[in-house]
Structures are given as C-alpha cells and as structure tokens.
Amino acid sequence: MTTHFKKFGVIGGGAWGTAIAQMLTREGQDVLIWCREPDVAEAINTAHENTAFLSGVALKPALKATSDLADLAGMDAVFAVAPAQHTRATLKALKGTLKPGTPVVLCSKGIELATGEFMTQVLKDELPDAVPAVMSGPSFAIDVARGLPTAVTFAIEDEALGTELIAAISTPTFRPYLAHDLLGAEIGGAVKNVLAIACGIALGKGLGRSAHAALIARGSAEMTRLALKLGAERETLAGLSGLGDLVLTCSSETSRNMSCGMALGKGESLQSILDARNAVTEGVATAPVLRKLAAEHGVEMPICDAVAAVIEGEISVDEAIVRLLMRPNRAEAVTA
Ligand SMILES: NC(=O)C1=CN([C@@H]2O[C@H](COP(=O)(O)OP(=O)(O)OC[C@H]3O[C@@H](n4cnc5c(N)ncnc54)[C@H](O)[C@@H]3O)[C@@H](O)[C@H]2O)C=CC1
Ligand SMILES: O=C(CO)COP(=O)(O)O
C-alpha cells in the first residue's frame, strides 16, 4: 500500500517512546523523538542509546532526537508517549504547529488525575484539529525495541486512515490490529495498571497463584463493567488492549506496576518504592482517579478500590486483603 506517512514525531523519550521510535525508524521514514532531558536527546543522537530509560539497546543511527518540541512541527503523524499526567502539557506546547488533520496516536496508559479525563479527551481539549488514535496492548518497551514479536490494538474512527497508518507502521514483528473503540482501548490500558499493582501485592504477600489468577479474572470483570457503563465495547476489553495487556502486566516483574505491588506486598513503603526508580508507575496516579470515576458512575470495582485505598494511605495491605476476602458472595456475571 502506498502511504503519505513519511515523517513521524514521537513525544517522550522514556522507554516506550524510545521503543516506538526505534520500531518506526526504517528506510523511507524519518523519525524524530522529543526527549524532555537534553542529555537523553544528545545520547540518542551521538551514542545511539537511551541510557537513562532504555539502556542496553542499540538504537538505529537514523533515529534522530531533539529536546525542542517545536521541532515536531509539520510531522505526518505524532505518537504521544509522555506519562499520562504530563500528556496535556506536551500537547499544549504543540498548539499551532501540527497541520490540521494530523493523526496523534495516544500511547500512554492512564487517566489524568486533575480532571478525570482519558487521553483522547485531553487531546481534544488541547489539539482539537488533530485526529485521535489509541495504540495500546501487551507490549513491554524492551521487547519492542529488541524486535521481539508484539501485537497491539490500534483504535481510530476512520477505517481508511487507520488501514493506511497500520500499513505504514507495522513490521514483521510489530502487528497493530485495527479497531474503532478508542475509549475501550484506553480503559483497558489504564485499568490494567491498577490491577497489576493488586496482583503484585498478592504475590509479594505470598498469597499464591490461585489468588493471583482470581485477581486477574475478577479484575477483568471490573474493567469490563466500567467499560460497558462508559459506552465502550465488551469485545475491546477481551482483546489485546484489555485482557492481553492485563495478562502481560499482571504476570511479569518487568512491569513497573506489578513490581511496585510486589514490593508493597513485601512491606516496603510506597514512597521508598517510587523514590528508588527512574521510571513512571502509572497505576499509582490512576488508582485514586479511577476510584472516583467508578463511584461517580456507580460501577463496583472492589479490587481497584482496595488498591486506591492502600495508595492513599487509608488502609494497610493486610486490611485491603481482608476487605476483599470478606465481601459478601455474589453472582459471577460482569453486569450482575
Ligand atoms: N515502558 C513500557 O513498557 C510501556 C509504557 N507504556 C506507557 O508509556 C507511557 C510512558 O512510559 P515510559 O516510556 O515507560 O516512561 P519511563 O518510565 O521510561 O520514563 C519516564 C518518562 O517520563 C518523562 N517525564 C518525567 N517528567 C515529565 C514531565 N514533567 N513532562 C513530560 N515528561 C516527563 C521522562 O522524560 C521520561 O520520558 C506511560 O503512560 C506508560 O504506561 C505503554 C506501553 C509499554
Ligand atoms: O504497559 C505495559 C506493557 O504493556 C508496561 O507496563 P508497566 O508500566 O507496568 O511496566
């Protein structure tokens, strides 16, 4: 398929932005990644490595980096990969620089704490002339950067545009699947991070694999319940950006959310866990705002609620476990 997508901008020089930029860089495509830290941009341009956020991966020399967001002006498509709490500021800074109708592919997984908004709404607020897309699914940055096989959901309203975009970005090892339910893809990505903290807590506490599996299955029910209430589609939550990412994130210590939960389960304090890492743990910011959103919509999400209560310091990990286990018996159905 011929494509007019030749110039890609990536906002965010963290692990995921770097992996996406590496994946997009190929013959016939120019890729420019914006890094907040000038030394990260410098290292990508000169040493071809992002030692701060994705060390040990040899980046393609054709990948170029900048620390000036204005350099992303005129790109054919932009991937927004700053942490969810910083996405608004980076999009705001791009006002007036992108051509109207430029696709902006939202790749961060979270809900804005200050507003309760998902990233598509943040984009609409800041760059109303952009075309929103959501790319989300089971995809550790290190796997994608190393070219290991990965499949994600690529949600966009315009099917023809989406078909052209996924043709332009896919590789033999990176397979985006086209979808139209942007909200469903966003809900999966945001909620699975909170559930991964819960799974980590259970494993860190030594509660066993049966409890872990129960949390994944009941967590999936919570995620789907919220999605249906907000108007998203059940099928999306059963796909790569829902169940797929839930399983990955809840099963591997490579996940920052899962490993944060494990450390909490072993008795470490949240602050000491966060202080010790140079990486974002999205579920920590998402849990409180997710709890609020669920309450506003009358959606029961007891696992996410318990994680939020631990994160906000209201109850201990042990109290959260007791609270979940002592809930009254109920029907298994998602919408019961
Ligand atoms: N790392 C991964 O495997 C994956 C991450 N994601 C999502 O991608 C998003 C970005 O995560 P990572 O790339 O992993 O980040 P990271 O944890 O590797 O790095 C942190 C990033 O936050 C940026 N940052 C810190 N303060 C900032 C500010 N005030 N304004 C703008 N940027 C700021 C840093 O410059 C750095 O790029 C998150 O929403 C995450 O959930 C999604 C899929 C996979
Ligand atoms: O979203 C991810 C994998 O799909 C990465 O998860 P963590 O942010 O928990 O590391």
111 forms beta bridges with 118
Asked if residue 86 has its Cβ within 6 Å of ligand 1, the reply is: yes
Tell me if 17 is assigned to a ligand binding site: yes
Asked if residue 282 has its Cβ within 6 Å of ligand 1, the reply is: yes
Determine the distance separating the centroid of ligand 2 and the alpha carbon of 255, expressed in angstroms. 5
* Domains in the chain with CATH codes: 7-180 (3.40.50.720), 183-325 (1.10.1040.10)
C-alpha 42/C-alpha 156 separation (Å) is 33
Ligand 2 residue neighbourhood (C-beta within 6 Å): 109, 138-140, 193, 196, 245, 248-249, 255-257, 282
C-alpha 5/C-alpha 168 separation (Å) is 7
Determine the distance separating the centroid of ligand 1 and the alpha carbon of 333, expressed in angstroms. 35
C-alpha 257/C-alpha 250 separation (Å) is 8
Asked if residue 283 has its Cβ within 6 Å of ligand 1, the reply is: no
pLDDT of residue 4: 87
Atom of ligand 2 nearest to the CA of 109: 1
String of b and e for 271-293 (b: at least 16 CB within 10 Å)?
Answer: eebeeeeeebbbbbbbbbbbbeb
Catalytically active residues, by annotation: 192
Tell me the pLDDT tens digit for each residue of 228-259.
Answer: 999 999 999 999 999 999 999 999 999 999 99
Atom of ligand 1 nearest to the CA of 40: 35
User: pLDDT band at 336, cuts 50/70/90?
Assistant: low
Handedness of CA 290, 197, 12, 108 (dihedral sign): negative
Average pLDDT in the 91-99 region? 96
Cβ-contact 30, 8 below 8 angstroms: yes
Model confidence at 3: pLDDT above 90: no
ipTM of this predicted structure: 0.99
